[in-house]
Amino acid sequence: GTAAASAALAAALAGCVDGACLLRNADGSLREPELRHNPYDPRAPLASRLGRCDDEPWHLWDLAEKRGGSGPSPAALLRPLKGLCADAHALERLRGVLPPVLPSLGILHKLGVRFRLRLHCACALANQGAPVAFRAEATSATVQEEVLRVCRPEWVN
């Protein structure tokens, strides 16, 4: 129901899967693209895609793929996402939860910046009525072009 969709949305936005969240794996090591700066590939094995935390919220689709039919589909996440995106107070509170950058061994990792980019991208997709992104059967491979067009137009133009 609604609670499951909201929990799935929160996990997807933070990139949480199997003990990993945001920039770190369960063992504390860095995730891509912070680790080696390899770009996202929707054709990579699912485990590889889930082991990342990019500026785009690919986990919206990759976690749905992992769940198979046993959890909320991308279509089920649209309503709670639209509700979140329409709540300016909640958005402001979420944006302030994480520091913009996190220093680690002389490198500034964009912790809060990355979360905000993921949130902004998800809201842009929801609010622009992205026709492919929130179909029940959507996958990261089928939505890649739409996500990049909406969230990173400078990459496709």
The model's pLDDT over 66-89, given as tens digits with 9 standing for 90+, comes to 998 788 889 999 999 999 999 999
pLDDT 10s digits, 95-115:
888 888 888 878 888 888 999
Residue bearing tokens 């002389």: 106
**pLDDT for the residue numbered 157:** 66
> Any idea which residue has 């969230």 for tokens?
151
Q: What is the pLDDT of residue 155?
A: 79
DSSP string, 94-122: HHHHS-S-EEETTEEE-HHHHHHHHHHHH
